[in-house]
């Protein structure tokens, strides 16, 4: 029971979860006497569920309190999801099937929150659905090869680089390629706006540089949008808001994945939470979301001038593959710094870069 608790189950005091989690992962078990002492030192003696508002955490009632916390959390999630569906249904601009799809997605999410399956069920699922998982080409053959064929559902792919290293350019390049291949996905723009990112793609499609839009040399007339790409302008978005919008995109737009640009810009840090812990929770939360909802996530992050990433261990843990963007001038190469399911092989090198920036059109990255 304890191992199934998450920080989202602790609405009022997420610090209580941190204390429990730290001890559980450090020792593999829980010493309730020690926990009671730590709770007391942080003024957390009184648990939050209404049935135990005056209760003190003890060795005799701890497991029962955990059950109550989880139960209240499931109830809150059910109420929240129901309210979202009602709000969606009351909006007459939405098609009826949109409401049904969102309700089905939310119901599946709630049902999965406490699902335990046997090895026989896993084998049955493999027989019914096949072993080969659906994956989507990035449009860069060398990168696809290192990924095992492309980006797989349920996995997180991290790409880190210094400021102005080409992170957004790489993301917009791959997003364009995905859209052209009919892969529906969401682009979450937290730094560069969705309009500017879309301009690059329109320019690439039209064979000119997007700067011509700003200079007034080009208009939007005659341009055809790619209907497979959805955008979310999200400067200052909090992590709970991000998860809600991702869930909406899964249910309403049937996306296969999402580009998150970028990790450190996700807000919502609790006043009692360190920035490192917040970012670690965001990274792991996105990994959990990808698995629960069977989508891929392309996650960008920024390093300092020394190439180090703050809270980088949390990012490494959350990503199935993590690449570092290197290069100078108009060429780049990717160092695979971590991988969970493939061999560790770089995409190019300093002497033999794998990507070049096409500035005449787009701009965008193309393979060398």
Asked whether the CA dihedral 183, 185, 190, 195 is positive or negative, the reply is positive
pLDDT tens readout for residues 284-307: 999 999 998 999 999 999 998 887
Q: What pLDDT, on the 0 to 100 scale, is given for residue 227?
A: 92
Q: What pLDDT, on the 0 to 100 scale, is given for residue 77?
A: 74
Largest CA distance in the chain: 74
Cα torsion through 123, 149, 157, 104, rounded to 10: -50
- Whether residue 255 contacts residue 183, with contact meaning beta carbons closer than 8 Å, is answered with no
From 140, 128, 68, select the one nearest 354 (Cα to Cα): 140
For each of the chain's 368 residues, which pLDDT tens digit applies?
444 566 666 655 667 767 777 776 677 666 767 777 777 787 765 544 444 444 454 555 566 667 777 777 777 777 777 777 787 777 777 666 666 666 666 665 655 555 566 777 677 777 766 666 789 999 999 999 999 999 999 999 999 999 999 999 999 999 999 999 999 999 999 999 999 999 999 999 999 999 999 999 988 888 888 999 999 999 999 998 999 899 889 988 999 999 999 999 999 988 888 999 999 999 999 999 999 899 999 999 999 888 788 778 889 999 999 999 999 889 999 999 999 999 999 999 999 999 999 999 999 999 99
Angle at CA 136, nearest 5°, toward 171 and 246? 65
Question: Could you tell me the pTM of the whole model?
Answer: 0.70
* Helices (H), ranges, 207-355: 211-214, 239-253, 275-293, 312-318
What are the strands, taking DSSP E only, across the chain?
135-136, 151-152, 156-161, 185-189, 229-233, 257-261, 296-302, 321-326, 331-339, 355-358, 364-367
From 147, 156, 150, select the one nearest 134 (Cα to Cα): 150
* Gyration radius from the chain CA atoms: 23
Q: What pLDDT, on the 0 to 100 scale, is given for residue 306?
A: 81
pLDDT tens readout for residues 143-195: 999 999 999 999 999 999 999 999 999 999 999 999 999 999 999 999 999 99
CA distance 252 to 266: 23
Q: Is 227 exposed, middle or buried (0-12, 13-18, 19+ CB in 10 A)?
A: exposed
Q: What is the DSSP string of 106-119?
A: HHHHHHHTT----H
Q: What pLDDT, on the 0 to 100 scale, is given for residue 28?
A: 64
Crossing angle for the helix pair 62-90 and 96-112, nearest 10 degrees?
170
CA distance 91 to 89: 5
């Amino acid at each position: 029971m304890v191992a199934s608790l998450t920080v989202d189950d602790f609405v009022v005091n997420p610090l209580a979860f941190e204390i429990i989690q730290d001890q559980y992962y450090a020792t593999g078990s829980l010493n309730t006497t020690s926990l009671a002492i730590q709770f007391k030192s942080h003024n957390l003696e009184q648990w939050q569920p209404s049935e135990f508002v005056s209760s003190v955490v003890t060795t005799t009632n701890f497991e029962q309190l955990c059950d109550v916390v989880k139960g209240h959390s499931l109830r809150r999630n059910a109420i929240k999801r129901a309210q979202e569906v009602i709000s969606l249904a009351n909006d007459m601009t939405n098609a009826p099937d949109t409401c049904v799809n969102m309700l089905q997605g939310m119901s599946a999410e709630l049902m999965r929150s406490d699902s335990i399956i046997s090895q026989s069920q896993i084998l049955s699922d493999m027989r019914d659905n096949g072993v080969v998982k659906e994956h989507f080409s990035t449009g860069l053959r060398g990168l696809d090869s290192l990924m095992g064929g492309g980006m797989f559902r349920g996995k997180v792919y991290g790409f880190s680089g210094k400021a102005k290293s080409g992170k957004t350019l790489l993301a917009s390049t791959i997003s364009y390629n995905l859209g052209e291949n009919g892969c529906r996905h969401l682009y979450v723009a937290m730094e560069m706006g969705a309009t500017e990112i879309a301009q690059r793609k329109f320019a690439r499609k039209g064979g000119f540089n997007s700067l011509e839009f700003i200079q007034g040399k080009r208009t939007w007339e005659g341009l055809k949008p790619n209907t497979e790409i959805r955008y979310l302008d999200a400067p200052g978005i909090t992590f709970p808001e991000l998860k809600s919008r991702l869930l909406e995109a899964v249910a309403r737009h049937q996306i296969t994945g999402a580009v998150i640009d970028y990790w450190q810009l996700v807000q919502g840090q609790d006043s009692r939470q360190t920035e490192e812990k917040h970012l670690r929770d965001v990274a792991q939360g996105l990994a959990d979301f990808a698995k629960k909802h069977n989508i891929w996530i392309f996650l960008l992050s920024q390093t300092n001038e020394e190439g180090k990433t703050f809270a980088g261990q949390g990012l490494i843990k959350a990503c199935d593959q993590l690449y570092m963007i290197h290069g100078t001038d108009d060429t780049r190469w990717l160092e695979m710094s971590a991988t969970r399911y493939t061999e560790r092989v770089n995409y190019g090198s300093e002497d033999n870069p794998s990507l070049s920036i096409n500035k005449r059109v787009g701009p965008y990255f193309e393979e060398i």
